[in-house]
A and B are shown apart, each in its own frame.
Chain A
Amino acid sequence: MAQLIRPTAGCALAWGWFSVLIISALAAPWLPLPYPPGTPDLLHLAAPPSAAAAHWLGTDGQGLDVLTQLLFGARTALLLTLPVAAGATLLGAAIGATAGFWGNRGLRVPLPAALLGLAAAMWAAAVPWLLTGPVVLAAGLACWPRWYRRCPVPLDSLLTGTGTLLDAVPRLVLVTAAAGLGASGRALPLLLLFTTWPETARLVRAQMWRVRVQPFVEAAQAAGLPPLRVWLRHCLPHALIPLKSVFPLSVAGLLGLESTLSFLGIGLPPEVPSWGRMLNAAHSDLGAWWVFVPPFLALASTTLALAYIANKSKHSFNN
């Protein structure tokens, strides 16, 4: 049974802030803002907050309205990080659960099928027949009852090895390098997705490792259920429990990464409003505190709210 989180003041605050953020991000294009995004007000450059010019939070050095940028920056942040975090969580969960359940020896494939698969892959890669031919021949020979066997697929090593590869350098450096190699702003979500999943995968794998030796799993296997069904119906619901607290943290991490990239002027194209880009504007104009404070507070409180939610849901399933 799912345990209800007892509502506390902090919890209400965190969820309240997060829902305000989501609503304002979704509703930003239809809000009655005095200034549209992306059009500078050249009469008011780096103007402090004033009601007279309807710049409620002032403008930055290029004459862009801070309030408009803040709202549209929230839109960018959430519309980028939430789908990427969801995708990375799904991908990581699938990979981690597969690697954790079958391990290196759990999944056994008949040798002829494995060899035929290899040959098909070689054929698809247009490898000359001089190399592909022997593999097909070997597949034929392996059908012979004397040589027939089932060979284990090292799923765990393969999947964790890929994760280790992506972890070899910090995410920021990896994404920076990939962006420098000409990955455009449109490729950024994909890039973030592929660098984010190993964390989730590692967690789910560890949890699956613990779940699959539980008596009820052994009972299900002893009852003769097919492995896929045991995996999906009996193990997965338990292995996915940590995701409740990992998902908010993954969103928070992506938010930090996205704003850092925008601050450095890498990732997103320059015309997309983002909190990181606003902070960059504050960097080039140190006197304008009103450009710095709103995105700073928004970024910090969003991350804090997400960390709080993650912490709460962690404790709710631990007791």
Chain B
Amino acid sequence: MTGAGLGPLAARLLRAGAGVGLLVSVLFLLSRQQARTALLQAEAAGLSAAAHPTEAAEQQDIRRAQLHRLGLDEPLFYAQYVAAAPGQPAHWRWHGRRNQYHRWLRALAHGQLGTSLRSGRPVGELLRAALAVSVPLMGAAATAATLAALLLGQWLAGHPRRTAPLHLALVGLQSIPGFALALALLLLFANPDVFDWFPVDNLGVETVAGLPDGYAVATLGQFVLPVLALTLSALPGLALPLAAALRHELAAPYAVSARAKGNSLRQLLRRHALPNALLPLIAQLADLLPALVAGAAVVETVFGLPGTGRLLAHAAATHDYPVLVAGVLLVGTARLLALLLADAALLLTDPRLRWPS
């Protein structure tokens, strides 16, 4: 039944999966190279600063132990273009399976993401703790934004004249970057000077510089503003195209004849126009998830929620490579999942895709 739809879907997923894998691999290799260079530079600086030869030797031992502990003393990749010793001409060397990349891949296959360089805790544990905050946040925002877009889209398309100000407001909302929107909400509704409705307790402002441990459990009240910010930043991108698609459908002959048969505007919108206008919206949902992840990074930073986005931004600021690589892998996987879901939903809603003409 789904033979026509499954082939391209599988190809698309495979391509996107290969993209994510390649990207994360490149990131991993670059991060390892960077970490090694940083350590060796520190070693060189320490050596030149050391007064005694014994002290220098001691320091070198420490560095070597550090390199070994982080697994940086092994070759980076299966084959490398390196010199056997400093001063000799470089050539290609085959290292076999004893390399950092292979070890990382094997650990990944076993579900181990490594340990954070800063806090020394397993990355998987950090990500899980962060996801416990981010998933409810993003899920609530995605649901709210989709439902609101469905309602607003119908309203905008049904009464274009009456809702012109709303349309304008949505366009204006679209032009505000997510972080500025979140900040505006914070300044308006969590500010003792204006409306102190949802106090944020300065949780984020105080702990942004600190390590992401010692999580405070966020209360429900603390979630209201972040969810609102994320919803509002995602809403115009969903509602405006839906309204445009609905308006396009309403002008189609079938809509006119449905109206002439005595359907009310509401019936016409819901029964006849919406199923057709929904398809672009569903295709867009695949892009919604990455947008939400990026938006969540900012919103979590603004409101001080210890979620994945903040973890990632923090890891980037402190050069915590394992966390960074794992975070990008997570985001890429989420995108794959979104693609899969959107394509499956398209197959479910559009029978034309299942039976090719």
Contacts and interface: CB of A to CB of B under 8 A. Distances in A.
Interface stretch (A20-28, A99-107, A175-183, A220-228): A175-183
Contacts of B92: 126-128
Nearest to B21: A168
A259 interface: yes
A126 B81 contact: yes
Contacts of A279: 179-180, 183
B205 A165 contact: no
A263 B180 CA distance: 9
Given A128-B92, A176-B312, A170 B183 contact: no
A165 B26 CA distance: 11
Contact of A173 (B15, B178, B294): B294
A164 B175 contact: no
A279 B184 CA distance: 10
Nearest to B178: A260
A128 B91 CA distance: 8
B107 interface: no
A69 interface: no
A58 to B, nearest CB: 15
Contacts of A170: 290-291, 293-294, 331, 335
A172 interface: yes
Contact of B335 (A169, A180, A282): A169
Interface string B86-106: 000011100000000000000
B191 interface: yes
Interface stretch (A35-43, A46-54, A231-239, A295-303): A295-303
Interface string B307-318: 000001101110
B319 A180 contact: yes
Counting chain B CB atoms within 10 Å of each CB, which of A167, A168, A292 scores highest?
A168
What size tier do the contact residues of chain A reach? 35 or more
Given A164-B16, A172-B294, A287-B191, A299 B180 contact: yes
A161 interface: yes
A284 B186 CA distance: 11
Contact of A181 (B34, B313, B327): B34
A127 B297 CA distance: 43
Chain A at the B interface: SS class: helix
B23 interface: yes
Of A181, A252, A299, A304, the most chain B CB neighbours within 10 A belong to A181
B302 interface: yes
A265 B31 CA distance: 20
Contacts of B187: 282, 286, 289, 292
B294 A168 contact: no
Contacts of B193: 286-287, 289
Given A169-B20, A182-B319, A252 B331 contact: no
Nearest to A179: B316
Interface in B237-255: none
Contacts of B91: 126, 128
B172 interface: yes
A168 B19 contact: yes
B19 A181 contact: no
B92 to A, nearest CB: 6
Contact of A283 (B174, B205, B313): B205
Given A259-B177, A260-B178, A279-B179, A169 B328 contact: yes
A307 interface: yes
B231 interface: no
A81 B177 CA distance: 15
Contacts of B19: 161, 164-165, 167-168
Contacts of B232: none
B27 interface: yes
B171 A176 contact: no
A34 B99 CA distance: 60
A13 interface: no
Contacts of B153: none
A249 to B, nearest CB: 11
A120 interface: no
Interface in A272-291: 276, 279, 282-284, 286-287, 289
A259 B298 CA distance: 11
Interface in B1-52: 15-16, 19-20, 22-23, 27, 30-31, 34
Counting chain B CB atoms within 10 Å of each CB, the highest count among A182, A266, A276 belongs to A182
B252 to A, nearest CB: 19
B17 to A, nearest CB: 9
A171 interface: yes
Given A167-B19, A181-B30, A182-B34, A263 B171 contact: no
A303 B180 CA distance: 12
B189 to A, nearest CB: 11
B99 to A, nearest CB: 19
Contacts of B327: 173, 177
A143 interface: no
Contacts of A164: 15-16, 19
A260 to B, nearest CB: 5
B328 A177 contact: yes
Which of A171, A252, A283, A307 is most buried by chain B, counting CB atoms within 10 A of its CB?
A: A283
A182 B41 CA distance: 14
9 contacts: A128-B92, A170-B335, A171-B294, A173-B327, A181-B27, A252-B175, A265-B317, A300-B175, A304-B175
Interface of B: 15-16, 19-20, 22-23, 27, 30-31, 34, 81, 90-92, 171-172, 174-180, 183-184, 186-187, 190-193, 205, 290-291, 293-294, 297-298, 301-302, 312-313, 315-317, 319-321, 324-325, 327-328, 331-332, 335
